[in-house]
Homo-oligomer: A and B are copies of this chain.
């Protein structure tokens, strides 16, 4: 059900001919209200695509009526003409919906540095606008896929005294996943009643512990966008804590699907850092490991090579994460292969071939903060997918 699980939304995904495959490539999500509150978080890359520049402005007033998304082209590094194309797209959606272009969020994904074929895109927008349906969330999720092999959707439902409310979302992302954000594109909708400021805070809190803790290949996109729309159609007022909890469930579900479908991956890896001095320190240590190509190739080879884990942990400056290297413990899939910075249980006891899931636990013995960052292994298929053709 994805973005149409919550009341007050319609969506669709159509074939506009942007993808050479002939698959769906333009998605439209519309909020029918009664409320039009919205929030967004975007890539922290300084090189940003035209639609990111546009959509930040759209969401600055905490209000949006529609999100139009296309695959088949990122519209990044396309100069003033690229921005004009984004603007035209928003105007076209606004005309079709009898809305204001200033309430239309635009998201694009695909190859960087190529102009969008605007005639096909605008025709696709017309088709999408006339095909909006209350159960169109699945088609919309299909239309934003690039090298994804499956659509990613998640739904959380909550019952209160006055009735039920829902959060639903869709995401796409296969390569170029790295914190800030980990996803290329994501739209989350809810029918709960919440003002824009609450939505903004709740979305930042939910993405901080989900999308920002996923690191597929250490590369950060120019187009990453997470957009949250609230229709208020359930009539249910919710607390910020309730909203954070449900949003986090949906975002975590989508983030895990992103890692599971990352380009060429054969293992999903959870790196948990225990007893860090702070959450930031733990994240820094976990990310050092999740970004180590030597660690990630070892996991692909089903080798619990804890020496590569320790050598990655040791690259984090003491000013960022205080710990004593001689007290480090490391367990892989429950076997403590490293104890006090030295040899622990025999690595032969670790079975990595039997499952896609790998759990690495690193104990810093320095504080009481625990964090987990998710990644995947580095495989021949990753090299193939990213060298055999442009993406």
Which of A's residues lie within 8 Å of B, judged by CB?
44-48, 74, 76-79, 82, 111-115, 175-176, 217-222, 291-294, 297-298, 300-301, 303, 305-308, 310-318, 325, 328, 338, 340-343, 378-380, 382-384, 386-390
Contact = CB atoms under 8 A, between A and B. Distances in A.
A390 B176 CA distance: 27
A323 to B, nearest CB: 8
Q: Is the interface of A mostly helix, strand, loop or mixed?
A: loop
Given A383-B297, A386-B297, A311 B45 contact: yes
A342 B310 contact: no
B343 A221 contact: no
A355 to B, nearest CB: 17
B46 A79 contact: no
Given A78-B342, A314-B46, A386-B297, A113 B221 contact: no
A218 B291 contact: yes
B222 A314 contact: yes
B387 A383 contact: no
A59 to B, nearest CB: 21
A98 to B, nearest CB: 34
Given A111-B307, A221-B311, A312-B219, A341 B79 contact: yes
A380 B380 CA distance: 6
A325 B79 contact: no
11 contacts: A45-B314, A47-B328, A79-B342, A293-B293, A298-B386, A298-B387, A301-B388, A378-B383, A379-B383, A380-B383, A383-B383
A183 to B, nearest CB: 15
A72 to B, nearest CB: 14
A112 B311 contact: yes
Contacts of A78: 342-343
A28 B301 CA distance: 35
Contacts of A79: 340-343
A315 B111 contact: no
Contacts of A297: 382-383, 386-387
A386 B340 CA distance: 26
Given A176-B311, A221-B311, A297-B386, 11 more contacts: A46-B325, A47-B314, A47-B341, A77-B338, A77-B343, A112-B308, A113-B338, A115-B343, A219-B308, A219-B311, A303-B389
B338 A306 contact: no
Nearest to A321: B46
B176 A310 contact: no
Most B-side CB within 10 Å, residue of A217, A308, A313: A308
Contacts of A292: 218-219
Contacts of A113: 306-307, 310, 338, 342-343
A176 B312 CA distance: 10
Contacts of A175: 294
Given A113-B306, A175-B294, A380-B380, A47 B340 contact: no
A175 B301 CA distance: 16
A115 B342 CA distance: 10
A293 B217 contact: yes
A24 B286 CA distance: 38
Contacts of A306: 77, 112-113
A222 B106 CA distance: 47
Contacts of A219: 292-294, 308, 311-312
Contacts of A384: 380
Contacts of A291: 218
A271 to B, nearest CB: 16
A224 to B, nearest CB: 10
B341 A311 contact: no
